[in-house]
Every structure is written in C-alpha cells, then in structure tokens.
Chain A
Amino acid sequence: MSRVNPGAYRAASARTIQNEPGVRDSVGSATRTFDANRVRAFGQIDSERWRDWARDVKTHALTNLDRYLEEAEMRLLANGAHVHWAESADDALRVLADVVARHDIRSAVKGKSMLTEELGVNDHLEQLGVRVRETDLGEYIIQLLGEPPSHIVGPAIHKSLDDCRRLFHAHLGTAPDATPETLAAAARDALRQDFLAADLGISGGNFLAADTGTVALIENEGNIRLSTSLPRVHVAFVGIEKIVPRLEDLSGLLQLTARAATGQPIGNFVSLIQGPKTNEEVDGPEEVHVVLVDNGRTELLADDVAWEALRCVRCGACLNICPVYRQTGGHAYGWTYSGPIGAIIAPGMLGLAKALPLPHASSLCGACVDVCPVRIPIPDLLLHWREQAVEEGLTTTAETIGLKAFTALAERPDAFSAAGALLRWTPWSAAGRSLPILGGWLQERSAPHPSQKSFRRLWEEGIE
C-alpha cells in the first residue's frame, strides 16, 4: 500500500504552508486556471442538464452494480481479455506479480492512474525487480522526485517551471534555463526509449462500459495510448464503481469529465479498449488483463449516505475550487485522493478512525457541490462523517464537547449571541488556544481576531 497517513493532516498542512510557500503559489495559480477553464466550458453547454444526466447514469449504474459487473465480465471474456477480481490491494498486486512471472516481464510503462497509486503498484513492481516508468509528464516529474501526486488531474501542479528546470538539469542534462519545450522534448526522447523497450503497459480506467466490455481512458499526451498499444501485455486496474451501462453512455461522461477537469470539449486522446490484438490487426498487446478492484469500495457503497461519492469521475473540479485545498495542495491530506473528494471517500474506504481529521479539512463553504459534474453533495457527506465520528466517540474529548456545546448553543439563539459576545471580548491569543474546537488548529497557526460585532449584528446594521 502506498503512504496512508491522513491523521497527520493538521501538522502536515501547517508544515507545507510555513516551509514551502512556493507550493501555495503554484497550486493556487494552477487551480485557478483549471477552474476558469471549467467555468468557460460549462458556459458553452446546458451544464445543469448535463450534470443531472451524468448523476442519474452513475446512480443507475451503482444501484445496479451487481448486474453490470456481471455483464462487463462476460463481455470482456468474450473479447478475449482476462478478468481478475481484487478484494484488496494485496489481491491486485498478486495478479500483477503472476503476470510479471508468467511473461518474464523486465520493464513496464505506466499511464497516469490514481488507482495504481492507491494500490502501490510502483513500489511492488520495483520489489519484483521490474523497472517501471511513469510516462505522463507530470507523473514522470514526481517519480523523479520520489513524491506522490498532489492533484488527481495535475499530479505535479505544486512544482514551478524552475523546479522542473532544476530537476531535468540533474536527470536529463538539459540547460539550467531550458524552455518548457526543450524540457518536454528531453522527456519525450528519454521516455520513447522506455516505451519501445517495455514488455508491460499499465493503466487505470476512467469508465468501463458493460455492454461492450470497453475500458475507456482519457488523457492529453498520448502516453496512455502508447502504454496500452506498444507493450505485449496490458494490465488495466479498474475500480468496480467505474462501470456504466452502455458504450453510448460515454458520450456525455467523456465530454462532461473533460469540461469539468480542464475545460476541453474532450480529452485530446481517448482510448476505448475491448481486449487484445485480433488476427486482423498488425499491432497491439497480445494479452489484456482487466483487474476489477474493490479495496474498500463496497464498504463505501454500504454506507446509506456516503455511497453517492462513488459517482465521482475524478475530474478534480472540487479540488480546484476548494479554498482549503488551495492552501496546501494534496500532500498534506496523507492519501492518494486529496481535497473534498478525498475527505468524503477516505472514511468509507479506509475506515473513519484512520481517515480523521479529513472530514474536518473543509470550511463547508459549499463551492465544491456547485462544480461537481455528477452532483455529489460533498458538504452533506462531510457533515455526515463528522457526525458519525462524534457518535462513534472518535473525536477527541475536547472536540466532542465543543461540537455538543456548539449544537446546544446554536439551538438557543439567546445563548448563542451571549456566547458570541463573550468571545469577542476575550483576550484572543490566550483564549483562542484554549478553545475546545479551535485548540488543535491554533497550535500550528495564529488565529484571526474576532470581529468586534457579530455577523448578525453587522447584517442588521447593513453590510457595505
């Protein structure tokens, strides 16, 4: 398994903000660009209807998951692909180890896939003695750095052009002031050798169409097309929630995902993969393995509220708009999936105790729910997990008392304003650190001073 440590979120985010100010700059500018592109792309379509439609297709697929998984399996087998079922990361890695042993695999190329990050595929391959190369340019950058991705669409958005110049100068011998074009060309040359030499191509899967057994993959660089076309064996890891009923359902989902992620009408390259090379074809992999992965997804599905998070198409729009994510990027979250989506699926997939305090890493501003292409009610799910944590006694005593006190106060308007008045007149730096909810948060940062007037008072007097 890859590094999983959401518990250190508070300390890790404080560390990022204090020690790596460049991260906030790079992440802030990249996410603002992504989001501006999404706004423009949503403006060109009837985005409300598209999003209703996408929500309904994914909900239908999830509420009939058993039926469509059976159908997809049947179709894939008929297409000549191998189908494997992995309950856990260990199961998935065992399938990979078998393929490696049977085909005497020495080197692999991999297209960007968050699921393979979740499973820890790269570390496992290295242990098996297989040289694995990330081929997406952003993934390649962070592989050279030995870091995990910090964003589900742009894995290296926390790195600046200068960071890349230094890195490529050290690894590929490019000039210290090389242009982005020169850097990309150097990476292309280095990676082309890896593509041509690799025996195994590894990918994830954005969608799996049940009626044709099609694994659909979205990208911009062409590295996924190459990774799934050149090596003699292709292994695709696909989460069981990626299923859609019919090939034609990809029509809306491919377009909406691209518009939400980068503002494009569609990814530059889309691969629709049915199985291995047929007799009428001159090239393509001789064997295709599709590994259908659970690894906590059925647990999330079983939660009567949070299962809706399984509709996620991993577009990253909720990260891009999130004021909390923008401060730190993804590493602080301590898990493959960061930002609002990470915070709502971690408790279901990892267990609530392990996922805390991620459901608290949000101001509940609700910006994410307005951008989500499949209308996942993210703030509701954050609250659901927070309540669940209190119910299960998983929050620290102080936080539990704090939340209970807050609830009690909020239910009684007179007491609420009295408590507010008290807070506004308390010497802040000392009091802030001893407050029940804010205490942990304030240990690593200084708090803003409370306003001299309550919001309700300002509202009544008329806010400028």
Chain B
Amino acid sequence: MSGRDRIFARVRSALAGRDRTELPESFGEWRLKSPPVSPVEGFQALFESAGGEVVRVSDRAGAATWIARFSTDFPSVIFGEHVPAELKPDLPSVTPEVAALGLSMARGAVAETGSLLMDARDGRRAQLLAPTHVVVLDAAAVYASLREALISLKDDLPSAIGFHSGPSKSADIGQIMVRGVHGPGRVIALVIDESVIVQDHKEGIS
C-alpha cells in the first residue's frame, strides 16, 4: 500500500458513519451592504482605498497620450507581452530585473474586492519586479463580483493568475504600514472607459 492509499484509507475510515453534507447555495447573494453604483466605480473606490491609483480615459488614444506623458519621468520600461504597439511609449525597453516602470494589460478586474486580474501569459516579471506598475484595464472587463470573475476565468486558465489589489505593503516592522516591500510600491490602473468624456478631455489637453 502506498502512502497515498493509506491516506485515502484513513480519510474514508474517519468519514465512515459521518453525514456527508450538501454544498450550500452559491456565494454572492449578499454583497456589501451598500453596493457601488457601477462595477468601475466600485473597483476604483476599493483600489484607491488600498493605496492604488486610478486614471480613467475614454479610448486607447487617450491611454497612449497619458502613458507617453507619465513615462517621461522613467528611464526604462518593461512591457507585458500583450501591450499593443500604440500604447508603448518611446522609452528604452530593458529586462524586467532592471526596469524602472512596468506596463501590463489586465485580463479584467473585480469591483467587489478592488482587484486587477493579471494573467501569467502577459508576463509575470513585468507585473512584479519594477517599482512602479501601470496596468491598462478595459472597463467592460470589470466584474461586479469575485464569483463572476472566477467563473469566467475557469474556462481559460493560464499557469497562474494574480489578483493585484493595491501596492505591495507590510506592517511587519513594529506594526507600521510601509509600501513597496517586494512588489510594486506604486500601482496605477489606467481604465479605458467609453463612458468617460470630461476626464479624457482634461487628460488630453492638460
């Protein structure tokens, strides 16, 4: 008998005579007491309260403009695999270990938890190593609940998915919160949201 078989034998003998209970109804019928106005609003509120930043633009051109301006403060960049050429700023692209800025595409986001869904196929190092991380998010891919997000992820899972819900932080030193401990200390969700008009205008001209 293998170790595996002995473990199964012990599990079955422990469970013999015990009621096998039913799985309860799905989670999510009872969300936050005050649900957000829209998934994007909900995502933004939680992501910001966890220390993340949110910028909303109305289209890809607006995103490209914002990225081009923002990236002038950085000497180098690492791009996620799926970042389209039109969003790439004119910066030296370097290895993730030394890049000052990471630019990735989110697979989606979750309003209920304020999380960006980061797919390993876009490149894990680009998501994790640079001190500042900009993540492009399509507003249409923001799920209201974590349950909906997980159900949709299930059909197409890469080797790993990371939920990033704000900058890296720790209170392990004397219970004082510090940012940027291992992962990015600054994370910005750049949301492409067609319903945004005024803000985009401002982004475009300022």
Which residues of chain A are within 8 angstroms of B176 by Cβ–Cβ distance?
161, 180
- Per-residue contact bits, chain B 46-62, to A (CB 8 Å; 1 contact, 0 not): 10001000000000000
Digitize B165-180: 1 where CB-to-A-CB distance is under 8 Å, 0 elsewhere: 1111111111110101
How many interface residues does A have (CB within 8 Å)?
A: 103
Tell yes or no: B140 within 8 A of A by CB.
no
Interface assignment of A191: CB less than 8 Å from any CB of chain B: yes
- Residues of B contacting A185 with CB < 8 Å? 180
- Contact residue among B121, B151, B157, B174 (Cβ-Cβ distance under 8 Å from A160): B174
Q: Are A188 and B181 in contact (CB under 8 A)?
A: yes
Contact B120–A281 (Cβ < 8 Å): yes
Count chain A CB atoms within 10 A of each CB in B27, B30, B113, B147 and give the residue with the most: B27
Interface flags for B3-29 (1: CB within 8 Å of A; 0: not) read: 110111011111100111111111110
Q: Given that A137-B181, A222-B184, A225-B128 are known contacts, is A248 also in contact with B168, CB under 8 Å in the complex?
A: no
Please determine whether B124 and A53 come into contact, CB atoms closer than 8 angstroms: no
A255 to chain B, nearest CB (A): 6
Chain A, range 157-206, C-beta contacts under 8 Å to B? 157, 159-164, 180-181, 183-185, 187-188, 191-192, 195-196
Q: Assess the B163–A187 pair: CB atoms within 8 A.
A: no
How many angstroms between the C-alpha atoms of A26 and B3 in the bound complex? 43
Given contacts A66-B8, A247-B153, A281-B158, contact A270 B115 (CB under 8 A): yes
Q: In the complex, what distance in Å separates the CA atom of A269 from the CA atom of B118? A: 10
Say whether A354 faces chain B, with CB atoms less than 8 Å apart: no
Q: Which of B15, B50, B161, B181 contacts A272 (CB 8 A)?
A: B161
CB atoms of A272 and B166 under 8 A apart: no
**Once the chains bind, are B125 and A230 in contact (CB under 8 Å)?**
yes
Q: A228 within 8 Å of B by Cβ?
A: yes
Interface presence of A363 (CB below 8 A):
no
Asked if residues A85 and B7 are in contact (CB atoms below 8 Å), the reply is yes
Give the segment of A259-267, A339-347, A382-390, A414-422 that binds chain B. Answer: A259-267
**Contacts A87-B7, A298-B10; A60 near B182 (Cβ below 8 A):** no
Check if B7 sits within 8 Å of A240, measured CB to CB.
Answer: yes
Do A69 and B8 touch across chains, with their CB atoms under 8 A apart? yes
Interface membership of B150, Cβ < 8 A:
yes
A436 interface residue, CB < 8 Å from B?
A: no
- Bound together, the chains give a CA A271 to CA B81 distance in angstroms of 19
- A50–B115 contact, CB under 8 A? no
A278 to B124, CA, bound (A): 13
Q: Decide if A50 touches B124 in the complex (CB within 8 Å).
A: no
A359 part of interface (Cβ distance < 8 Å):
no
Q: Is the CB of B182 within 8 A of A45?
A: no
Using CB atoms, name the residue of chain A closest to B27.
A252
Interchain CA distance A191-B43 in the complex, whole Å: 32
A268→B50 contact, CB < 8 A: yes
Across the interface, do B23 and A269 meet the contact criterion of CB distance under 8 Å? no
B160 at the interface (CB under 8 A from A): yes
B residues touching A (Cβ–Cβ < 8 Å)?
Answer: 2-4, 6-8, 10-15, 18-28, 30-33, 46, 50, 81, 97, 112-115, 120-121, 123-125, 127-129, 145-147, 150-151, 153-154, 157-176, 178, 180-184
Given A183-B173, A283-B124, A284-B124, A66 contacting B24 (CB threshold 8 A):
no
List chain B residues, Cβ under 8 A from A138: 170, 172
From A44, A52, A161, A302, contact of B14 by CB (8 A): A302
A248 and B154 contacting across the interface, CB-CB below 8 Å: yes
Question: Contact between A255 and B112 (Cβ–Cβ < 8 Å)?
Answer: yes
CB distance from A180 to the nearest CB of B (A): 4
Inter-chain contact A181/B178, CB cutoff 8 Å:
yes
Kindly state whether residue A277 has any CB partner on chain B within 8 Å.
yes
User: Are A220 and B146 touching (Cβ within 8 A)?
Assistant: no
Docked pose: A61 CA to B154 CA in angstroms: 19
Sample of 19 more A-B contacts, CB < 8 Å, known A137-B170, A138-B172, A284-B160: A33-B175, A44-B33, A50-B30, A56-B24, A59-B21, A87-B6, A159-B174, A180-B174, A180-B176, A221-B168, A226-B182, A226-B183, A265-B113, A270-B115, A276-B159, A278-B121, A281-B121, A284-B120, A298-B7
Chain A residues within an 8 Å CB radius of B8: 66, 69-70
A135 to B128, CA, bound (A): 14
Q: In the bound complex, do residue A87 and residue B165 qualify as a contact, i.e. CB atoms below 8 Å apart?
A: no
A223 proximity list for chain B (CB < 8 A): 181-183
* Known A-B contacts A85-B3, A271-B160; A301 and B113 likewise in contact (beta carbons under 8 Å): no
User: Which residues of chain A from 256 to 313 have a CB within 8 Å of any chain B CB?
Assistant: 264-278, 280-284, 288, 292, 294, 298-299, 301-302, 304, 307
- Bound-state CA distance A59–B19 (Å) is 10
**How long is the Cα–Cα vector from A104 to B128 in the complex, in angstroms?**
26
A residues in contact with B153, CB < 8 Å: 247, 272
B112 near A66 with CB under 8 A, answer no
> In the complex, what residues of A have CB within 8 A of residue B166's CB?
268
CB distance from A198 to the nearest CB of B (A): 13
Given contacts A60-B22, A222-B183, A280-B121, contact A251 B28 (CB under 8 A): yes
CB nearest neighbor in A for B187: A268
Asked if A86 CB lies within 8 Å of chain B CBs, one says yes
Contact status A63-B160, CB under 8 Å: no
A70 to B160, CA, bound (A): 22
Determine whether the beta carbon of A248 is less than 8 Å from that of B147. yes
Tell whether A93 is near chain B: CB-to-CB under 8 Å. no
CA distance A225 to B123 in the complex (A): 12
Q: How far is the CA of A271 from the CA of B10 in the complex (A)?
A: 31
Counting from the closest, the 9 A-B pairs by CB-CB distance are A222-B183, A161-B174, A138-B172, A252-B27, A251-B147, A298-B10, A302-B14, A85-B4, A56-B24
Q: Is the CB of B168 within 8 A of A284?
A: no
A269, B163: Cβ atoms closer than 8 Å: yes
User: B10 is contacted by which of A250, A294, A307 (Cβ under 8 Å)?
Assistant: A294
In whole angstroms, how far apart are the Cα atoms of A292 and B2 in the complex?
Answer: 14
